[in-house]
Structure 1
C-alpha cells in the first residue's frame, strides 16, 4: 500500500485547503497512512531553506513526496518519486493588471523560477484544471502533465434538507435575498466590485462576506454588506446553506473551489467567464457566467436568480449533481492513487 508524504507551508488561500483535501481523499480511498507535514509560513517565500528545517532522514517510511509547485523543487529525496501540483500560475498575463508592482516583481523574478524548478524536476506534474494545464504549456512549454481536479468533500458540503434555505448560518438581517461572497478581500477575487454591484440591486438584497486571511476588516464598504469573519469548515457549510446565491466576481481562478463548494451545497453561482470557472460552473444550468468586470451583468444575473426561486432550485440541483459526479473526493483520491501506483512501479 503506497504511503505518500505531503509537505506544505501554511498558506493563506485555497491552495492551502487543496493539499488538505488531497490528504483526506487519498486516506479515504486507499492510503490511510498518508501524512501531511505542515511547515511555517515563511517557507512559502524561502522554500530553498526547507531541507535545513527537516530532520535527518525525513523521507524514510514514505514511498513518494508531494508538494505544490512553489516548494516542490526543494523536496527531492533519495529514491522517492516527486509529485508537484500546479494550482495556478501567478505569472498568468490575466492576473498582472490586478497585482501591485511589488507583487508583479516577486511573481516574475522569484515565484516563476520556483514553479519552473518544481515542474522541470518532478516525476509527475498535476494540474487542477484544463485551464491550468494550458497555462503551464503556454508559460513553460511543458506538456507532460496530468489533470486531476481539486476535490470537494460532498459528504460535508451538502444541500440543506429539501434545498430550503437555512436561517441559522448567517447573522440576522432584513434582507429578502441573501448573497454570499467567500474569499480574500483582493482584486483577484473581485472584492472591489461588490459595492458597485450592490448599488444596482434592490434594497431587499443583502451581501454577506468573509474576511478571508486579510488583516482586520475596516468595516463594510457598503451599507448592505455584512462581514461574517473567517468561519471554520462547519460554519462555512452553514453559510452556504443559509444563502440564496453565491456571488463571486473573480478575475482569475486556477480551479474555483469556492464556486464548487457552493454548488455542492445546492446554491447557484454568479461568477465570471474566465480561466477555469467555465469548467466548474455551467452557464444557465448551475449559474451565470458574466464578462469580467461587468458590474451590470453581475447585478442582472443576481437579480434574475433572486426573483425566481424555481430557477435557483433547478440550478442548485444541477450544480450539486455535477460536483458530486466530477469534483468529489472519489475522483480526487483515486486519481492520485492511480498516479502513485504508476510512479512507484
Structure 2
C-alpha cells in the first residue's frame, strides 16, 4: 500500500482546505495517507522545515508532497517530491487587488518559492487548466498533471427534495437568500457586494462568512448578515439554506466555494475569469459575469431569484457535474495513479 506524506503549514484560505481534501480522498482510494501540520511560520520560511523534520520520519513514506510555496524544501529526503499549484500570485490580474506589501512579498519571495518547487519537483499537479497555463507561461514547465480540487460529495449534498432548508442561517426578512463564502478581500470581490445589493429588490438578503483575511468592521450593507466562520457541517447547512451563491471573485485558481455550492444543489453567480468557467457552466448550473460588472451580477441573481424552476434545474445540473468531475473519487484516483507511476507501482 502506497504511503504519501503531506506537509502543510497552517494556512488562511482555500489552499489549506485543499490539502485536507486530498488527504481524505486518497485515504478513500486505499492509500495510507498522513497529513503533517506545521506552524504557520513555515509558509514564509519553508527552508527551515528540514531543521524540524527528521529524515527518518519522511523515509517511512513512499512520496512526500507540499504546496508550491514549500515543496522545494522537501528535496533532501530521497523520496519523490510532488507539489500542488493552486494559483500563482505572480498573475498580473491579481496585482491591482493586492496591497503594496503583498505585491512585494509575491514578487521577491513567493514567486521564487513557487519557481524552485515547480523546477525541482518530480511531479507538478495543477488544480485547473487555467493554473496549468499559468505555470507553463510563467515557469516554462509543460509536463504538469491536471487533478482538479475535490469536494466530499457525501457531505456536501442537496437538502431533501432540493428544497431550501430554513434552519441553517440566521432568521431574516428575506424572500431570496444569497450566500457569499470567502475571505473579506478585494480579490474575492467582497467590496462589490454592497453595490450589488443596492441593485436588488428589498426582499433579497445576503449572508456572508467571516474568513481569515480582511477587516471585520460590521455589515457593509443593511441587508448583509454575517455568519462568522462556520465549521464544515455549518457550511453545508448554510449552502442548503440559501437560494443562490453569489461569488464575484476576481481571480480563482479553482473555485472551492462554487463547487461546494453546486454539490449542494445551489446555482452560482460568479465571474467569467481564471478557472471559474471550468467549474460553473454558464446557463446550465449558474451564470458567468464580466469582472467588476455590478449590474451584471445583480441582473443574473435576479433572473435566478425570480425563477424557482430554473434554480432547481441549475442545481441538479451542478450537483451531477461536481459528483462526476470534482468529487473525492476522481481526486483520490488521480493521485493514486500519479504516485504509482512515480514509485514504479502503477
TM-score higher than 0.5 here? yes
Is 1:116 the counterpart of 2:115 in the alignment? yes
Residues 73-222 of structure 1 aligned to structure 2 (within 5 Å): 73-214=72-213, 217-222=216-221
Counterpart position of 1:14: 14
Looking at structure 2, the residues matched to 343 and 108 of structure 1 have their Cα atoms a distance apart, in angstroms, of 32
Is 1:293 the counterpart of 2:292 in the alignment? yes
CA contact (8 A) 2:59 2:79 kept: no
> How far did residue 56 of structure 1 move?
4.8
Structure 2 unaligned residues grouped into runs of 5+ = none
Mark the CA change 1:215 to 1:296 in structure 2 (over 3 Å): closer, same or farther.
Answer: closer
Counterpart position of 1:30: 30
Looking at structure 2, the residues matched to 104 and 256 of structure 1 have their Cα atoms a distance apart, in angstroms, of 22
CA contact (8 A) 1:129 1:147 kept: yes
CA contact (8 A) 1:281 1:289 kept: yes
Partner of 2:8: helix, strand, or coil? strand
> How far did residue 78 of structure 1 move?
3.1
Looking at structure 1, the residues matched to 55 and 213 of structure 2 have their Cα atoms a distance apart, in angstroms, of 36
- How large is the RMSD of aligned CA atoms in angstroms? 0.8
Looking at structure 2, the residues matched to 205 and 195 of structure 1 have their Cα atoms a distance apart, in angstroms, of 12
CA contact (8 A) 2:280 2:288 kept: yes
Looking at structure 1, the residues matched to 242 and 77 of structure 2 have their Cα atoms a distance apart, in angstroms, of 50
What TM-score, normalized to structure 1?
0.99
Counterpart position of 1:72: 71
Looking at structure 2, the residues matched to 127 and 115 of structure 1 have their Cα atoms a distance apart, in angstroms, of 12
Partner of 1:155: helix, strand, or coil? coil
Looking at structure 2, the residues matched to 281 and 163 of structure 1 have their Cα atoms a distance apart, in angstroms, of 19
> How far did residue 216 of structure 1 move?
6.4
Counterpart position of 1:260: 259
CA contact (8 A) 2:181 2:208 kept: yes
Partner of 1:7: helix, strand, or coil? strand
Aligned length: 344
Counterpart position of 1:57: 56
Is 1:333 the counterpart of 2:329 in the alignment? no
301-310 vs 48-57, which deviates more?
Answer: 48-57
CA contact (8 A) 2:183 2:214 kept: no
Partner of 1:58: helix, strand, or coil? helix
214-223 vs 297-306, which deviates more?
Answer: 214-223
Mark the CA change 1:215 to 1:287 in structure 2 (over 3 Å): closer, same or farther.
Answer: closer
CA contact (8 A) 2:59 2:78 kept: no
> How far did residue 60 of structure 1 move?
2.3
Counterpart position of 1:232: 231
Counterpart position of 1:320: 319
Counterpart position of 2:343: 344
Looking at structure 2, the residues matched to 280 and 261 of structure 1 have their Cα atoms a distance apart, in angstroms, of 10
Partner of 2:58: helix, strand, or coil? coil
CA contact (8 A) 1:59 1:77 kept: no
Mark the CA change 1:215 to 1:135 in structure 2 (over 3 Å): closer, same or farther.
Answer: closer
Looking at structure 1, the residues matched to 134 and 77 of structure 2 have their Cα atoms a distance apart, in angstroms, of 30
> How far did residue 215 of structure 1 move?
6.4
Is 1:308 the counterpart of 2:307 in the alignment? yes
> What does the per-residue CA deviation read over 1:63-120, in whole Å, with 9 as the maximum and x for residues that have no partner?
0100000000011243310000000000001101111111111101100000000000
Looking at structure 2, the residues matched to 281 and 78 of structure 1 have their Cα atoms a distance apart, in angstroms, of 40
